[in-house]
């Protein structure tokens, strides 16, 4: 009905978002391909956006009365926040509710990469245990590793805490050190790479994190070195990583995220020493439900109470109205 607030949903989103939003808002669903295609009257009625994926300046400009953009996911690099902020639009994300899931996945991916469990399972399923005998010994182990975490934010800290019982050495690199933590702080990524044999990256996609995992960093990790990425593929120089894995400069890698998803460079697929996941770090039913709820709660709280639950730092936290 016309007296309900209209919320735009471009492209696909978790069904729970639509189900809950639909109870009190008019949902306007549109295709993403080819840019915003909504008649002027409908466009003018849109006051909120729920989105999983991108929402750039051209989308923001196509809807003159947007007040809030709620992103499904903690990483909101797909949204032009600068442009939103310049127009007084609040952007929200879904922090914290996925910390445990993503940290669990990082540990699982690290173990899979070190111990080759996915390959060992294939060995069994393909009948090779019976025909050829025991699965070959994994070249690497968790034991005695020196682990450096690139980014010790909400998720990075949960990864560090999970690593403690493995009796490994733990360090981290961020731009500013965190207070009172029992981990070694490295002011540069290079210094950390030189001091550890295992690097886990969990930094956001920003201009400063573009391809920071480069040939220099990978060779500092060395032939026994392992690189794990659960942050963004944007942070990795794929050509350098594929070369390092292929020529033994680096021991192994485990990747959940890629530069141009869902496209994965063919170079990775043909390497034996890389463990690959299709961006599933937060992808469980309970965690995605919690993320969906936070998207909806941000929109409801904005329109009902005038204050979103989890606004991103770049956009104003002013009260509505
Ligand atoms: P936070 O904002 O809590 O933490 C980000 C961390 O990165 C901080 O420690 C920050 O420290 C550090 N950081 C930021 N910029 C730099 C830089 N240029 N150099 C070094 N360190 C930097 O974010 P979350 O932990 O909640 O999430 C991190 C990212 O993980 C998300 O933005 C998202 O891209 C990704 N992610 C991936 C998922 C997946 O499915 N694989 C799921 C969830 C998140 P400081 O500011 O001091 O530098």
- Helix (H) and strand (E) counts for the chain? 13, 12
Kindly tell me the burial class for residue 96, based on how many C-beta atoms sit within 10 Å of its own C-beta (0-12, 13-18, 19 or more). middle
CA of 62 to the centre of ligand 1 (A): 30
pLDDT of 317 above 70: no
**ipTM of the modeled complex:** 0.99
- The H-assigned helical ranges of 62-177 are 81-86, 99-115, 117-125, 128-132, 154-163
Q: Return the pLDDT at 89.
A: 97
Q: Return the pLDDT at 155.
A: 98
Catalytic residues: 232, 261, 279
What average pLDDT score do residues 71-85 get? Answer: 97
Q: Which of 14, 71, 73, 75 to mutate to test the pocket of ligand 1 (most atoms within 8 A of CB)?
A: 75
Q: Return the pLDDT at 8.
A: 98
CA of 112 to the centre of ligand 1 (A): 23
pLDDT of 293 above 60: yes
Query: pLDDT, tens digit, for every residue of 55-71?
Result: 999 999 999 999 999 99
- Give the percent of the chain with pLDDT over 70: 98
Residue nearest to atom 35 of ligand 1 (CA): 231
CA of 146 to the centre of ligand 1 (A): 21
pLDDT of 207 above 70: yes
- The H-assigned helical ranges of the chain are 15-21, 40-45, 57-61, 81-86, 99-115, 117-125, 128-132, 154-163, 189-195, 215-221, 238-247, 266-269, 285-305
CA dihedral 233, 82, 42, 303 (to 10 degrees): 100
147 in Cβ contact with 226 (< 8 Å): no
Containing 23, the helix (H) or strand (E) segment is none
- Give the percent of the chain with pLDDT over 90: 96
Query: pLDDT, tens digit, for every residue of 256-287?
Result: 999 999 999 999 999 999 999 999 999 999 99
What is each CA distance from 115 to 109, 111, 112, 137, 275, in whole angstroms?
A: 10, 6, 5, 8, 10
Query: pLDDT, tens digit, for every residue of 146-188?
Result: 999 999 999 999 999 999 999 999 999 999 999 999 999 999 9
Residue 185: other Cβ atoms inside 10 A = 15
Please give the DSSP secondary-structure letter assigned to residue 135. Answer: P
Cβ 231 under 6 angstroms from ligand 1: yes
Query: pLDDT, tens digit, for every residue of 235-250?
Result: 999 999 999 999 999 9
């Amino acid at each position: 009905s016309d007296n309900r607030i209209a919320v735009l949903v471009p492209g696909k989103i978790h069904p729970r978002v639509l189900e809950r939003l639909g109870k009190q808002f008019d949902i306007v669903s549109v295709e993403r391909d080819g840019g915003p295609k909504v008649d002027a009257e409908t466009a003018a009625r849109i006051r909120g956006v729920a989105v999983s994926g991108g929402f750039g300046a051209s989308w923001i400009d196509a809807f003159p009365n947007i007040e809030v953009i709620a992103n499904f996911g903690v990483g909101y690099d797909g949204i032009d926040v600068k442009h939103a902020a310049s127009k007084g639009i609040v952007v929200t994300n879904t922090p914290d509710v996925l910390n445990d899931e993503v940290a669990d996945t990082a540990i699982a991916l690290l173990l899979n990469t070190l111990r080759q469990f996915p390959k060992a399972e294939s060995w069994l399923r393909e009948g090779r245990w019976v025909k050829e005998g025991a699965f070959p010994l994994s070249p690497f182990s968790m034991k005695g590793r020196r682990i450096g975490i690139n980014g010790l934010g909400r998720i990075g800290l949960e990864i560090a805490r999970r690593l403690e019982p493995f009796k490994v050495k733990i360090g981290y690199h961020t731009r500013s050190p965190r207070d009172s933590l029992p981990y070694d702080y490295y002011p540069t990524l290079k210094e950390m790479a030189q001091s550890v044999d295992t690097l886990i990256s969990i930094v956001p996609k920003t201009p400063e994190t573009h391809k920071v995992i480069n040939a220099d960093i990978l060779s500092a990790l060395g032939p026994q070195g392992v690189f794990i990425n659960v942050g963004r593929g944007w942070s990795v120089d794929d050509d350098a990583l594929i070369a390092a894995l292929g020529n033994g400069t680096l021991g192994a890698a485990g990747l959940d995220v890629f530069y141009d998803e869902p496209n994965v460079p063919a170079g990775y697929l043909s390497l034996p020493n890389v463990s690959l996941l299709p961006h599933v770090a937060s992808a469980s039913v309970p965690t995605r439900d919690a993320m969906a709820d936070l998207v909806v709660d941000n929109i409801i709280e904005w329109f009902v109470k005038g204050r979103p639950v989890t606004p991103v730092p770049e956009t104003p936290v002013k009260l509505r109205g």
